[in-house]
Amino acid sequence: MAKPFMRNLILLCEKCRMKGHRTMPDKLRFLMLRLGVVVAVSGSFFALGCRALPFRPLRPPEELSRREVIEGVAARQHFFSSVYDTRISLRVVEEAAGGRERHPLVRGILIFDRTVPGLRLRAERFGRNIFSLRALGESFWLEIPENREVVTGGEAAHARMPHLVWPAEIALWFAPPDWLGLTWDGTTMETTRADYVFEVTLEGFPLRRVSVDRRDLHITSITTYDVFGDVDTCVVLDRYGEVNGAVFPHRLGVSRPRPGFHITLQFSSPQFDRRFSESDFQPPARPGYRHIDLDRQP
């Protein structure tokens, strides 16, 4: 409809130019008036957005019981033994007193096996290896080729590397409801307009908060607390999609408010339940590299 209207307008303007009209004919004036009305209405909708339309809020789904929510989460979640993706993307944002620094986007490979438990994470940029992380249990080995350095440590050293993720964290983010504590006696559930919110405690101390979307019963966020009850890490799980019959969140947003780091980890083509062994997560020898043992440093 718009194309014939504009074509007629252009042809009429060309005829007027060829005939040498100094005043606008009635037909051309009518077409210009129609065009002005269309532009004005379009501009109003663009400026007002949804406020120019009648607002009809979506009605929240019927409220479920705690047992029904837990059963729904368990039915929709794929409890995989391993995840493997050769096309991940990773971005780290660091917030400090001086401002916010967005580190370059890197791509790479992620292998995680909860039965080992082990993690391999390789980050590349323009084909150049930025870093390689291998973690076996709580121990890790981080290779930084540009500096020719290898950084190692155990669980106590994790806090000094807030821009990385660890096997125990990933295992928790994809854990079934009973591992998350949703079925525990001390856990409470509150219903909000968008989510079912579980507060998981142990002997009165807060451990974590788990939010479940009311419409599709997917876990949308997991917040863990430190021993003082402050937020340690918050992960947001979104962009759920089906992979070989399993529903999986393709993007994780990991926030660590205390050190001021935010990690965005995005999956492209995850594969599940491949078999790995401890040898797949053992670090290779790097002769000539400087070794930094964080467990031995103050």
Tokens 């909000």 found at: 192
For residues 169 and 273, membership in a common domain is answered with yes
CA triple 188-192-198, angle to 5 deg = 25
For residues 165 and 44, membership in a common domain is answered with no
CA dihedral angle for residue 267, residue 270, residue 274, residue 275, rounded to 10 degrees: 0
- How much is the average pLDDT of 130-152? 96
Which of 30, 52, 74 corresponds to the end of one domain? Answer: 52
Residue 60 lies in a domain: no
Structural domains of the chain, count: 2
Residue 118 lies in a domain: yes
CB 211 within 8 A of CB 219: yes
Residue 191 lies in a domain: yes
CATH number for the domain spanning 70: value is 2.50.20.10
For residues 28 and 79, membership in a common domain is answered with no
* pLDDT at residue number 79: 84
For residues 20 and 166, membership in a common domain is answered with no
Those residues whose C-beta lies under 8 Å from the C-beta of residue 21, and which sit 6 or more positions away, are none
Crossing angle for the helix pair 26-48 and 2-19, nearest 10 degrees? 140
Which of 52, 75, 92 corresponds to the end of one domain? Answer: 52
For residue 214, give the nearest of 72, 57, 74 by alpha carbon.
72
CA distance 265 to 274: 21
For residues 37 and 112, membership in a common domain is answered with no
CA distance 181 to 185: 9
CA triple 146-151-154, angle to 5 deg = 155
In the chain, the percentage of residues whose pLDDT exceeds 70 is: 81
Which amino acid belongs to residue 149? E
* pLDDT at residue number 51: 43
Tokens 């007629």 found at: 8
89 beta partners: 107, 266
For residues 228 and 254, membership in a common domain is answered with yes
- Whole-number mean pLDDT of the chain? 86
For residues 79 and 114, membership in a common domain is answered with yes
For residues 125 and 27, membership in a common domain is answered with no
Residue 59 lies in a domain: no
For residues 71 and 184, membership in a common domain is answered with yes
For residues 48 and 82, membership in a common domain is answered with no
Number of Cβ within a 10 Å radius of residue 73: 21
232-288 pLDDT per residue, tens: 999 999 999 998 888 899 999 999 999 999 999 999 999 999 999 999 999 999 999
Which domain does 40 fall in, by range? Answer: 2-52
For residues 25 and 153, membership in a common domain is answered with no
Q: How many residues does the chain have?
A: 298
Phi first, then psi: give them for residue 28, nearest 5 degrees.
Answer: -65, -40
For residues 250 and 281, membership in a common domain is answered with yes
Residue 57 lies in a domain: no
Is this structure's pTM higher than 0.85? Answer: no
